[in-house]
Every structure is written in C-alpha cells, then in structure tokens.
Amino acid sequence: MGYTDQRFDVNLSILFTELPLLERPAAAAAAGFTAVELWWPWIETPTPAQEELDALKNALEDAGTQLVGLNFYAGRLPGPDRGAVSVPGEESERFNANINVAADFAASVGCKALNALYGNRVEGVDPAVQDELALKNLVVAAQAADRVGAILLIETLNKPESPLYPLVSAPAGIDVVDKVNEATGLGNAKFLLDLYHLAMNDEDLSEVIEKYAAKTGHVQIADKPGRGAPGTGELPLEKLLDQLKKAGYQGYVGLEYKAADAAASFAWLPAEARAAQ
C-alpha cells in the first residue's frame, strides 16, 4: 500500500505558521491538500466574535479545503498549558464556554472530529478531583459533539515534553475513552493515535495499533527524534500506516510535524497522494 493509499490532512496550527491564520488554508491547497485540521485558533479566548469565526469559515471554503479536525479550547498551544478539561477554576470554565462554540463552528464547516486535551496536573489539587472534573466535562463535550454528528477525540501526549500531563500512554487514553462512552452511552468518544507522542513514550507502536485500531478516531504523525517530516527520523511511518489500514482504519492521517518551510517539507509525499479521497 504505502503513503499513496492514505488520506492525509495538514495541521495548520503547526505547519504554515509563518502565514496569518486566514492565509493558511490557501497555502495548503496550493501544496495540493484538500483536508486540514486546527488546534483551537484563538488561544486568548474560547468565545471569539462571530466575525472571526465567519472569516475562518470563508477562508476554508474559498481555498476548497475541508476542516476534518478541530481542538476544543486548550489554553496556549504550543506551550505549557496542555489542555483545560481537568483544570479546576477559570480554565475549566473557559473550556465549558467553548464547547458549544466549537461544536457549532465544526458543524458550520462540516468538521466531524473534535479533540479535547485533558489538561495538566495542578499542584495542590488531588488527581482524583481532576479526573472527576475531566470526566464531567468530557461527557458534556461528547454530547455536544454528538449533537453535530461529530466524534470526541481523546489524545495522549508524551512525558518528556509534557511531564505534568497524565495521559502519557495509549492504555491511559483508551481508559478515558471507555469511561466517557460508558458515562454517555453514545459511543462517540475515540482515541487520537499520535504516533510521535507514543514513540516518545517508548511504546511499541505496532502493538498499540494491533490493540487499539478499532477505537481510533484520528491519527497524527511526525518523525522521531525532532518531530520533523517523515523520513527525517527513525520511525517506520509508512509501514505503521499500512498496518493501521490493514487493521481497518479508514480515517485521516494528520501531518503534525515541525518544518521551517512547510511547502518544501512535503517532498516525501507524492503530489497525487495529497488530495484526500
């Protein structure tokens, strides 16, 4: 199979960042891509003005790009915050204020996947209290996603780069997925399988795919070390994506790597493989 048998999208929050947000969809389209994803673009607010939401919607549509994944509000990314759903106080309140805003925007552009970053451990707060808060908030997020026909994604990060983030293994992420689905009865919580983060945690990637492909709702890739484009590191990404495909995964593979020149960084991917089918 190989890369030409996959459905790729470009994460516009980590690639093409040399451009203003509203110019990035057109840049992705110029590079041959028809699908994109985003972290929550407005890091300062969970509730941007409707004019800003409309401007992004228009930029996506004008470029002919489909938004296939969107983060709920997660604090300042990239940065130390790493999510909000389990953080008591203002951050949790901001996440809740964002839930319907993000879900409604996703619906307006046909986006079917919403990602909720769990949140760091907070000094002086019982982890069990944070986990209880997270489950409560994720249930509301799953219900909002279901309302607009979307899935809720739960993502694991990696301990070296996010030492305070509690979901730093595939089993930990799957445990939260299962708890949310049990609490809602909706079955729309899925695992966001990020091969870079899992590799940074020294997990057996082939084993993770074998165990959890059926519960995976989205995939993201970058090479290790360095979080660069495929081929810049040591990960057998083409082989791993083939395994995912054979295991039944039919969704998108998000390009979530770092590159100083995004357009030049796609040389590893044949032009005919960039337009999602």
Residue 135 lies in a domain: yes
pLDDT tens digits, residue range 188-222? Answer: 999 999 999 999 999 999 999 999 999 999 999 99
Residue 225 lies in a domain: no
CATH code (residue 170): 3.20.20.150
Q: How far apart are the first and last CA of the chain?
A: 15
pLDDT at residue 102 in the model: 98
- Which of 37, 91, 203, 256 is labelled catalytic? 256
pLDDT at residue 2 in the model: 75
Whether residue 155 lies in the annotated active site? yes
Residue 269 lies in a domain: no
pLDDT tens digits, residue range 96-133? Answer: 999 999 999 999 999 999 999 999 999 999 999 999 99
Residue 143 lies in a domain: yes
Number of domains present in the structure of the chain: 1
- Residue 4: band (very low, low, confident or very high) from pLDDT cuts 50, 70, 90: confident
Residue 240 lies in a domain: no
Q: DSSP for 107-164, please give it.
A: HHHT--EEEE-B----TTS-HHHHHHHHHHHHHHHHHHHHHTT-EEEEE---TTT-TT
pLDDT at residue 76 in the model: 78
Residue found by looking up tokens 């799953």 in the block: 142
Q: Assess contact for 143 and 186: CB atoms under 8 A.
A: yes
Distance CA 28, CA 91 (A): 32
Residue 65 pLDDT greater than 70, yes or no: yes
User: Quick one: tokens of 276?
Assistant: 């999602």
User: Quick one: tokens of 219?
Assistant: 């995939």
pLDDT at residue 169 in the model: 98
| Enclosing domain of residue 22 | 3-192
Residue 221 lies in a domain: no
- Which of 155, 161, 238, 272 is labelled catalytic? 155
pLDDT at residue 1 in the model: 61
